[in-house]
Amino acid sequence: MTFTNFSAIRNLLPKPEEQSRIAKILSDRDNKIEALENKLENYKMIK
């Protein structure tokens, strides 16, 4: 991989601030999914 190729890839990435926002959104969604899965398991146990 040449420096030019590496630079081109690096320029495609979002800025660190945007990466952090994206990571937070994905983490929040993951937590929500996990909570819903736990809730579903609890409902299944009650049945």
- Find the domain containing 34 and state its range: 14-46
Using CA atoms, how far residue 21 sits from 9, 11, 13, 16, 45, in Å, is 20, 18, 13, 9, 36
- Mean pLDDT, all residues of the chain: 90
Determine, yes or no, domain membership for 5: no
Q: Which of 1-10, 13-22, 23-32, 38-47 has the lowest mean pLDDT?
A: 1-10
pLDDT in tens, 4-19: 777 777 778 889 999 9
Distance CA 27, CA 37 (A): 15
Determine, yes or no, domain membership for 3: no
Q: How many domains does the chain have?
A: 1
Distance CA 13, CA 7 (A): 10
